[in-house]
Amino acid sequence: MREIVLDTETTGFDPFSGDRIVEIGAVELYNHMPTGKTFHEYINPERSMPAEAFSVHGIGPDLLEPPQKPEPGAVTLRDKPVFAKVGQKFLDFVQDSRLVIHNASFDMKFLNAELDWMGLPKLPMDQALDTLAMARKRFPGSPATLDALCRRFNIDNTNRTLHGALLDSEILADVYLELIGGRQPDFGLSTQSSSTSSQVEDDWRPVPRPAPLPARITADEMAAHEAFVDKLGDEALWKAS
């Protein structure tokens, strides 16, 4: 089963009031495991960048009013493609796969507005799976932000000082896999298969290891243990055998 974990960054909250997408990041999962394939684009929104949005994601200092001089590593947008140049490539990447999104209604609203303005097919809402709703159902009354879920599941998000679509997608993929029961929710024992998935032979059996693993205890550690046991006397558990 192919899934796409997706996130966007925007200039604001409402595409129908003039806000636009400025970044799309997506990560491919196959049978709940990352494949390493990603989609990532920065997008010129063809408008100014509100200071409030800039404070969240730090993208587009050149679109602020007045423009700011970009700090090292900052992402500028005037030289990036407009959505019309990347929309079809985005659809080609996601295809009809399930879209895993945190607060799906927000991202789907923006994506479908941009696609509609291009005359491209919109994404059905039932194609999206909302991890925010999943988290609220599983942990009622608890914070369900991405950062809060990272803390709950001990997922490292130390690189997330600002929002970024690709980084957030990678983090969300880890969160999603925890929400559904871990990286292998069916322990790899599912009998269902597809033409593109790897097959497990029906007669698979474990085989003996061809050679024992080398000992991880050093000679000094062994000597220290023996000296410790000697101090315990003849009744020590280690001498019972």
Which positions are catalytic?
163
52 carries a ligand binding annotation: yes
Q: H helices of the chain, where?
A: 51-57, 83-94, 104-118, 131-138, 146-153, 165-179, 219-232
41 is in an annotated binding site: no
Is 40 labelled as part of a ligand binding site?
no
Which residues, 6+ apart, have CB-to-CB distance to 162 below 8 Å?
Answer: 56, 57, 58
What one-character DSSP code corresponds to residue 3? E
The verdict on whether omega for the bond into residue 66 sits within 30 degrees of 0, i.e. cis, is yes
| 14 known ligand binder | no
- Give the separation between CA 150 and CA 139, rounded to whole angstroms: 13
Beta-carbon contacts of residue 144 (< 8 Å; ≥ 6 apart): 132, 135, 136
The dihedrals phi and psi of 130, each to the nearest 5 degrees, come to -95, 110
- Among 70, 65, 25, smallest CA distance to 43 is for 25
Residues 56 and 19: their CA atoms lie apart, in Å, by 15
Distance from first CA to last CA of the chain, Å, rounded?
53
7 known member of a binding site: yes
Q: Report the binding-site residues for substrate.
A: 7, 9, 52, 57, 168
Q: Report the binding-site residues.
A: 7, 9, 52, 57, 168
Q: Report the binding-site residues for a divalent metal cation.
A: 7, 9, 168
